[in-house]
Structure 1
Amino acid sequence: MNAAVEPSAASPVPEAKPRRRRSARAASEHLPVRIGGMEYARTASTPTRVLGFDQALIWACLFLLSWGLIMVYSATIAMPDNPRFARFGPNFFVYRHALWICMGFVAALITFQVRMDWWEKAAPWLFVVALALLIAVLIPHVGSVINGARRWISLGPMNFQPSEVAKLAVLLYAADYMVRKMEVKERFFRAVLPMGVAVGVVGALLLAQPDMGAFMVIAVIAMGILFLGGVNARMFFLIAAVLVVAFGLMIASSEWRRERIFAYLDPWSEQHALGKGYQLSHSLIAIGRGEVFGVGLGGSIEKLHWLPEAHTDFLLAVIGEEFGLIGVVCVIGLFMWLTRRIMHIGRQAIALDRVFSGLVAQGIGLWMGFQAFINIGVNLGALPTKGLTLPLMSYGGSAILVNLVAIAIVLRVDVENRQLMRGGRA
């Protein structure tokens, strides 16, 4: 009787329920993934987490800022030995540079809180403000003259350069303009000509300072946004040809600009080595001394009053001397990655039907990439000497501040992209 009641040891019945419980519990802990055919593999269910901002972009910018701060200190520590800078201490320039970076961080944090639709509404007014500043800098006793150029407005102990604000203002205005003219973008006189007139007015004010480098950057930003906004290819090449001819006429009509071109072609000649080719020849000497691995941080000789503007326009030459080919390649690689990443964020915004935000981000990518390209080309002797700083690295207060504001706008575009992709509202 007992044997009839007791279950058999081989019977699967008592084990069926526990096995079903275990399999249900396992199914809740693992997700099936097809490998091939009828086979499945089980993977642990790890929760996905979408970051609210682009950490890699932030770290790249912080690295460039930190490296730039170190190199500005290295390039300026001996400047008080020069009678021209005798009133400054050895830490004067690095402290000033660090102060501008801190101010830039504050401005970037404030900018990051501003929604992109506000920038779209404010773009025309910001353009008007930029024009007013470019006019104000030309007024005597308002604009400060340094090295023969009237490009700065004095703000007590600091100088502010309106052309840096103009780059951002023209960028925002061009993006807003293309969104408004999207329906007539195939018509030259209704879509392209008004934007060309606006850029021409800005260019005339910049050339009066004179600041041809800033005009080149602004022209490339505007032309790039027109192209990315969908302007007809024939019109784009027509605009490019007009700009090339215009810059050629500017160079041909200016004796000192012609001398720069001739000095670029032969910087080692007796005529140019101590004149217009002096900066380029000493930049090449500095980079040549660095060879592959450099002479070490702080070991540069060219920065000891041989290379003019070593902390601004020719900071890369000091990097090349102290860190060698490795350092120069790292700088080029960082700016290539930075430009590519910013352009990707812009394309992502356009794919989400946020055309203004996408054009603004891509315009900032063009700005950073083109200005870095010009500065690196000048330092390496691949391009004629032009007074453009290396973004995020060179000494220059207003440039650093506006660069950080521009990066904050890109991060805002990225955050709004991520919010839309998560199903929220930008």
Structure 2
Amino acid sequence: MSLRAGFGLFGERGLGENRLGGVVRPAGELDPLLFWSSALLLLFGLVMVYSSSIAFAEGSRLSGHQAHFFLLRHSIFLVMGLVAGAIAFQVPVRSLQKLAPWLAGVGLLGLILVLIPHIGREVNGARRWIPMGFANIQPSELMKLAVALYAADYTARKLPDMKSFKRAFLPMFGMIVMVGALLLREPDFGAFVVISCIAFGVLFLGGLNARIFALLLVLALISFVLLIWLSPYRRERLFGFSDPWKDALGSGYQLSHALIAFGRGEWLGVGLGGSVEKLFYLPEAHTDFLLAVIAEELGFAGVLVVITLFAILVQRAFAIARRAHQLEHHFAGLVAQGIGLWIGVQSFINMGVNMGVLPTKGLTLPLMSFGGSGILANCLALAILLRIDWENRQPPRASGLGSFDMAAAHRVASPSREGMAP
């Protein structure tokens, strides 16, 4: 069995280095960089959702022409997410492993229900939401977390077979094909891309044969080309991306206005609340194109802050994963890597779309964009990540992990004596 040496893709040095450097943190302390980067992104997102949605809320009958409509709803979603996260933090990681297949099953059921007429709600030609009275549930957002848990459980159980195409790759491939078929029926190509990256990324980091992974990349490229070729609206998006100014009032409308927002912001922005593009020019300003509003109002400096916070969060996720693997907590380590991949890939795609580097995908900016299901799933994921970090630092019997490598625990808990004077 081999786990890929790339567990520490982002390194382990610096703050929180207690397992390698001998500096033991108090058992009750949360990872400060992970906690504060997450908190700042959530709070920053709340401010920018309000700023980007005021004009739309005032002019829409759906919001009752109330300027604070989206601020209030986003605040409620955020509180609900934090409460759910606080509850999830109390759940031992080994219990999550037992629940992982069931959560994946519930997620699949949600993806099926959303496609049934009179159950799923269709908006702008896409059927992605299930009305629940106060809010609409988007199953694909919750499925991202379910897949991160399921892929980690699957890979942890298949570690001895990671070199086998039949036993390691095919079952997970079948699962993702099934999920993809449901998502493409909505359609939600962006969610399919993120979920595929989570599942196969976890498999690769768990030791999947490099040749099998290379074959997967080739299949993914062929599938991507076919999906674009067979779908007129995806071809239109791709052509609009390649030259948004050619059809600035049609297929290139969103991207052209996003680029205008970036251009107006320059280095320091036009000031908080001063965006012009959010005044009914830039569609989905408070969801998919929130970063463009940040760029216009706070400039390159504001965008750089957002990128830095996401980079810190993803780095901490992989650092926590590395510690878990060193302690032989492979499921926990793979979950942390899956969450890091999820937030990293989705934020990268969203930023790329806003900057005109990638075609429009319909993905929100994690932790920041408006959306109840997304905020709930993000808060749950962060709570699980914090729980893994907390269990990494517990004595064997207190962690609730069940199996524990006692020799590894002794090594990481004791300061190294190399180089000490006799």
What TM-score does the superposition give when structure 2 sets the normalisation length? 0.87
Distance 1:171 1:244, change over 3 A: same
Mapped partners of 1:232, 1:294: distance in 2: 47
* Partner in structure 2 of residue 400 of structure 1: 375
Structure 1 letter corresponding to 2:359: P
Q: Within 5 A, what are the aligned runs for 1:56-95? A: 56-83=33-60, 85=62, 87-95=64-72
| Residues 52 and 418 in structure 1, CA contact (< 8 A), matched pair in contact too | no
Say whether 1:193 aligns with 2:174: no
Instruction: Report the Cα offset of residue 81 of structure 1.
Output: 4.4
| Residues 345 and 414 in structure 1, CA contact (< 8 A), matched pair in contact too | yes
| % identical aligned pairs | 56
Mapped partners of 1:78, 1:85: distance in 2: 13
| Residues 151 and 202 in structure 2, CA contact (< 8 A), matched pair in contact too | yes
Aligned partner of 1:345 among 310, 320, 343: 320
Q: Within 5 A, what are the aligned runs for 1:100-249? A: 100-249=77-226
Corresponding residue SS for 1:87: coil
**Higher relative contact order by CA 8 Å / sep ≥ 6: 1 or 2?**
2
Mapped partners of 1:65, 1:131: distance in 2: 28
Residue range with higher mean Cα deviation, 140-149 or 416-425: 416-425
Mapped partners of 2:60, 2:284: distance in 1: 15
Mapped partners of 1:367, 1:86: distance in 2: 31
| Residues 82 and 305 in structure 1, CA contact (< 8 A), matched pair in contact too | no
* 1:283-327 CA distance string (max 9 Å, x none): 000010000010000000000000000000000000000000000
Distance 1:105 1:318, change over 3 A: same
Instruction: Report the Cα offset of residue 244 of structure 1.
Output: 1.5
Instruction: Report the Cα offset of residue 62 of structure 1.
Output: 1.0
Mapped partners of 1:424, 1:143: distance in 2: 41
* Partner in structure 2 of residue 362 of structure 1: 337
* Partner in structure 1 of residue 306 of structure 2: 331
* 1:235-281 CA distance string (max 9 Å, x none): 11111111121111101100110011011000001xx2111110000
* Partner in structure 2 of residue 384 of structure 1: 359
State the structure with more CA Rg: 1
Distance 1:425 1:104, change over 3 A: closer
* Partner in structure 2 of residue 291 of structure 1: 266
Instruction: Report the Cα offset of residue 224 of structure 1.
Output: 0.5
* 1:304-357 CA distance string (max 9 Å, x none): 000000000000000000000000111111111110111110111011000000
Mapped partners of 2:240, 2:308: distance in 1: 29
| Residues 368 and 391 in structure 1, CA contact (< 8 A), matched pair in contact too | yes
Query: What's the RMSD between the two structures over aligned residues?
Result: 1.7
Mapped partners of 2:63, 2:193: distance in 1: 35
Mapped partners of 1:149, 1:363: distance in 2: 27
Structure 1 letter corresponding to 2:342: W
Corresponding residue SS for 1:419: coil
Distance 1:395 1:424, change over 3 A: closer
* 1:125-154 CA distance string (max 9 Å, x none): 111111111000001110011111100000
Corresponding residue SS for 1:78: helix
Instruction: Report the Cα offset of residue 157 of structure 1.
Output: 2.1
* 1:6-44 CA distance string (max 9 Å, x none): xxxxxxxxxxxxxxxxxxxxxxxxxxxxxxxxxxxxxxx
Mapped partners of 1:147, 1:221: distance in 2: 27
Instruction: Report the Cα offset of residue 86 of structure 1.
Output: 6.3
Corresponding residue SS for 1:77: helix
* 1:72-92 CA distance string (max 9 Å, x none): 110111114435656341000
Q: Within 5 A, what are the aligned runs for 1:253-264? A: 253-264=230-241
Aligned partner of 1:306 among 281, 287, 291: 281
Distance 1:142 1:86, change over 3 A: closer
| Residues 37 and 310 in structure 2, CA contact (< 8 A), matched pair in contact too | no
| Residues 57 and 69 in structure 2, CA contact (< 8 A), matched pair in contact too | no
* Partner in structure 1 of residue 295 of structure 2: 320
| Residues 270 and 297 in structure 2, CA contact (< 8 A), matched pair in contact too | yes
| Residues 58 and 65 in structure 2, CA contact (< 8 A), matched pair in contact too | no
Distance 1:418 1:47, change over 3 A: closer
* Partner in structure 1 of residue 410 of structure 2: none
Instruction: Report the Cα offset of residue 405 of structure 1.
Output: 0.1
* Partner in structure 2 of residue 39 of structure 1: none
Structure 2 letter corresponding to 1:384: P
Structure 2 letter corresponding to 1:91: H
* Partner in structure 2 of residue 19 of structure 1: none
Mapped partners of 2:174, 2:333: distance in 1: 24
What TM-score does the superposition give when structure 1 sets the normalisation length? 0.86
* Partner in structure 2 of residue 7 of structure 1: none
Mapped partners of 2:110, 2:283: distance in 1: 28
Show structure 2 runs of 5+ residues with no match. 1-22, 402-422
